[in-house]
Amino acid sequence: MLDGKKILFSGMQATGSLHIGNYLGALKNWVSLSNDYECFYSVVDMHSITIRQDPQELRNNARNILMIYIAAGLDPIKNCIYYQSHVPAHAELSWILNCFTYMGELNRMTQFKDKSSKHDTNINVGLYTYPVLQAADILLYQADAVPVGKDQLQHLELCRDVAHRFNAIYGDVFTIPEPSLGKAGAKIRSLQEPTKKMSKSDENLNAAIFLLDDRDTIIRKFKKAVTDNFANIKYDAENQPGIANLMDIYAVLGEKTIAQVESEFAGKGYGDFKLAVGETVADALKPFRERFYELKEDKAYIDTIIKNNAEKAAYTANKTLRKVQKKIGFPISN
């Protein structure tokens, strides 16, 4: 605990542009969680290089994502918002935890299998040991809670297993983190293939609504969203996944129930509904975009946040790292 509050850790990779699925499934939830926890929100740029990145693009993406955190409503004074690569303890603890993680455990990680099939020309060791670095991210800050989607539960379970194993040998060194599952709106689907999750790496730019898209682009993308031939605005995720996806987005951003959405559009066509969803999303993202571009102009302010929060993160992380190093027998410098 810090200052009487439980600790929470989470982060996003510094690749691509964040979309409304990232906002509704994570960022929006992070803002509410920051009232109840002492929060560490990382831009996990070290994780990003398991796939080859253009150096300048990676730096730009990392800075943009950090500013997006703030524009979304995360107070950078109240919350520790920082770059993973600015805290060397992440890499140092990751190596130590590698020595307490079994090959069989990593062989069972389904995300490694999925990513290997997509990047078969670059199946590197970092891709394989990614979950160990993720465990180090979490355990460094003695996190009590980690907001995760179902696709990350396996990695968190590995983190818990490794922490239990280390504690069984050396005593209560690590806090055992618990999952904090996302709330409604966490499963935003592709606008072009609504049976799949919305993805920032989708080659079809019409499939995702990016947080920095302008109003006209947002409305145009929703007008092109794939629906069906039923011409019936009813929530049926199995038979009408496209309409169900649009209803989820409209309900969450419009703060309405699905029943209210169905009633509002009873007897109306898909064209009217798509336009309404597009306008609602554009209106909801307008203050966010304006705040983002204000932050982008204030380079000195962002640079100060980056420096101060890196120091804050490193102070907390290094306390855990020193404790671990002492426990396993590394020489301690004076």
13 vs 111: CA distance, rounded Å = 15
309-329 burial, b for 16+ CB within 10 Å, e for fewer?
bbebbbebbbebbeebbeeee
DSSP state of 145: E
User: 10 - beta bridge partners?
Assistant: 41
Active site members: 115, 197, 200
The pLDDT of residue 182: 55
Is residue 76 within 8 A of residue 70, CB to CB? The reply is yes
pLDDT at 152: 80
* Digit-coded pLDDT (tens) for 285-334: 999 999 999 999 999 999 999 999 999 999 999 999 999 999 999 998 76
pLDDT the model gives residue 181: 67
Question: How far, in Å, CA of 68 to CA of 302, rounded?
Answer: 11
Mean pLDDT of the chain: 92
| The pLDDT value given to residue 176 | 98
Question: Using one digit for the tens of pLDDT, what is the confidence trace for 138-161?
Answer: 999 999 999 987 778 899 999 999
pLDDT, one tens digit per residue, over 5-64 is 899 999 999 988 899 999 988 898 899 898 899 999 999 999 999 888 999 999 999 999
pLDDT value, residue 183: 54
- The residue whose two tokens read 């950078």 is 76
Cα–Cα distance between 158 and 90 in angstroms, integer? 17
Q: Band the pLDDT of 185: cuts 50, 70, 90.
A: very low
225-246 pLDDT, tens digit per residue, is 999 999 899 999 999 999 999 9
**How far lies 313's CA from each of 14, 33, 186, 194, in Å?**
18, 18, 28, 39
Higher-confidence residue of 66 and 112: namely: 66
Specify the higher pLDDT residue, 32 or 185. Answer: 32
Taking each helix axis from N to C terminus, what angle separates 270-297 and 299-328, rounded to the nearest 10 degrees? 90
Nearest CA to 47 among 136, 150, 141, 174?
136
Separation CA 164–CA 51 (nearest Å): 30
Band (184; pLDDT cuts 50, 70, 90): very low
% of the chain at pLDDT higher than 70: 95
The per-residue pLDDT for 119 is 65
What string of DSSP letters covers 174-236?
S---EEEE--TT--PBPSS-TTSB--TT-S-GGG--BTT--HHHHHHHHHT----SS------
